[in-house]
């Protein structure tokens, strides 16, 4: 079966590869703001640098990206629109698998990575409806709405939390399943309260207090862990809204 015109314009017409490239380019700047280099894309996509060069040229031809030779890549409004649609699919799929089919939050990423290219808009919408139109996925990543709007929570990396201050877990990078499993085991999940106690001397681990009410624990966090967890401090709720095109 050929990818027919059963979806949003400029969605089913794009190959799975194009979809993944665009999505990765977007994801690169969702929580940071560094320039997106060819090498970085190659590493993330597990592909040779030369392959990225070629595909980026294609993205430019398709009007999805802007690129001047030897410079970083940027999405066009058109590319951003496609990226947000793909991100929506990916995150809704993850959420659906966790809430409706009993997956663990460390098990859903690969499944969603493939399914996102195959599900129809109809299916995505039905899953969203079934879930009550959730606004974040199991890892706390915001789910773009069907019209291509996304609202980023005003969360910060845990390691930047000031000593003595408290926050709630708002997001956890889903890059490392082992890390996710560890956090589950430690009963740290979205919205878990965390208080920064301080850093052990000489570049040591961060120490945090986990939980708020009854059972409170202290926990040392390694560097990767501290860099993978985002927290939201109470009160603040601004966030920032990205619109399509």
Minimum CB separation of residue 51 from DNA in Å reads 3
Spatial separation of the C-alpha atoms in residues 38 and 21, rounded to whole Å: 11
Which among 95-103, 154-162, 193-201, 213-221 is the span making contact with a copy of itself, rule CB under 8 A?
95-103
Helix (H) or strand (E) holding 156: strand 156-157
Quick check: 14 binds Mn ion (CB under 5 A)? no
Binding mask 101-140 for a copy of itself (x = CB under 8 A): xxx---x--xx-xxx-xxxx-xx--xx--x----------
CA distances from 213 to 15, 197, 232 (A): 50, 17, 18
d(CA 7, CA 32): 31
Q: Are strands 150-152 and 240-242 parallel, antiparallel or unpaired?
A: antiparallel
> Which of 26, 103 has the CB closer to a copy of itself?
103
Grouping H, G, I as helix, E, B as strand and the rest as coil, residue 168 is strand
Beta bridge partners, 142, equal 136
Toward a copy of itself, which CB reaches closer, 113 or 220? 113
Contact positions with a copy of itself (CB under 8 A) in 2-41: 4, 6, 20
The rounded Cα 209 to chain-centroid distance in angstroms is 26
Q: Which residue's CB is nearer to Mn ion, number 3 or number 211?
A: 3
Instruction: Give, as ranges, the residues between 156 and 215 that touch a copy of itself (CB under 8 A).
Output: none
Would you count residue 74 as binding Mn ion (CB under 5 A)? no
Buried/exposed 204-222: b ≥16 CB within 10 Å, e otherwise: eebbbebeeeeeeeebebe
Of Mn ion, a copy of itself, DNA, none, which one sits near residue 110, judging by CB under 5 to 8 A according to partner kind? a copy of itself
* Nearer CB in complex with a copy of itself: 127/161: 127
- Per-residue tokens: 189: 């999940």
| Interactions with Mn ion, residue window 112-141 (CB under 5 A) | 113, 137, 139, 141
Can you state the angle between helices 77-101 and 108-115, rounded to 10 degrees? 130
Residues that bind Mn ion (CB under 5 A): 20, 94, 113, 137, 139, 141, 174
Residues that bind a copy of itself (CB under 8 A): 1, 4, 6, 20, 97, 100-103, 107, 110-111, 113-115, 117-120, 122-123, 126-127, 130
């Amino acid at each position: 079966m050929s990818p027919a015109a059963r979806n949003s314009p400029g969605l089913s017409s794009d190959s799975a590869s194009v979809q993944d490239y665009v999505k990765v380019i977007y994801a690169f700047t969702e929580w940071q703001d560094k320039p997106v280099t060819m090498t970085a894309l190659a590493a993330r996509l597990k592909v040779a640098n030369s392959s990225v060069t070629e595909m980026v040229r294609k993205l430019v031809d398709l009007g999805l990206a802007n690129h001047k030779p030897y410079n970083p890549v940027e999405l066009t409004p058109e590319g951003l629109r496609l990226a947000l649609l793909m991100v929506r699919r990916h995150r809704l799929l993850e959420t659906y698998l966790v809430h409706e089919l009993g997956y663990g939050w460390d098990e859903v990423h690969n499944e969603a990575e493939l399914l996102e290219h195959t599900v129809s808009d109809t299916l995505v919408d039905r899953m969203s409806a079934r879930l009550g139109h959730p606004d974040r996925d199991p890892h706390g990543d915001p789910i773009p709405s069907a019209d291509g709007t996304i609202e980023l929570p005003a969360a910060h990396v845990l390691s930047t939390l000031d000593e003595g201050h408290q926050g709630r877990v708002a997001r956890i990078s889903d890059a490392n399943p082992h890390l996710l499993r560890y956090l589950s085991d430690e009963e740290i999940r979205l919205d878990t309260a965390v208080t920064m106690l301080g850093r052990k001397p000489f570049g040591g681990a961060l120490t945090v207090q986990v939980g708020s009410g009854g059972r409170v624990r202290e926990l040392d966090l390694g560097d990767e862990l501290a860099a993978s967890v985002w927290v939201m401090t109470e009160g603040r709720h601004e966030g920032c809204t990205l619109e399509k095109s």
